[in-house]
Amino acid sequence: MQFTPSLYRGFMLKHFQSARRLRKTAAHSPEEYFGFHPEDIEVIHFHLQGVGEGFWFRLNDGRVFNRFAELCDPDPSFYDATTH
């Protein structure tokens, strides 16, 4: 799903604040936590095959990060299409 950079930053901020509350990061900003800026995001995915619902940022360079700022499989065919 595509949004504007300001909306992307809102998603980043939400997950950054959650990580800070859980003491999972000492980063001072969402950009520091994730290692990218909202302008770098191409799309947000909400489903990953084998995992189910979740949250993944796909960057313009093809890399994909989850809400924990972890690098994930970049294969686009794994994201957003549900299988039954």
Q: Where are the domains of the chain?
A: 5-76
What is the structure's pLDDT at 2?
Answer: 63
Place of tokens 């191409």: 42
| DSSP states of 2-51 | ---HHHHHHHHHHHHHHHHHTT----SSHHHHHSS-GGGEEEEEEEETTT
Is 0.85 topped by the overall pTM? yes
6 vs 3 pLDDT, higher one = 6
Confidence of residue 3 (pLDDT cuts 50, 70, 90): confident
What pLDDT digit, counting tens, does each position of 55-79 carry? 999 999 999 999 999 999 999 999 9
pLDDT at 84: 44
Average pLDDT taken over every residue of the chain: 93
Token pair of 33, please?
């936590």
Average pLDDT over residues 27-51: 96
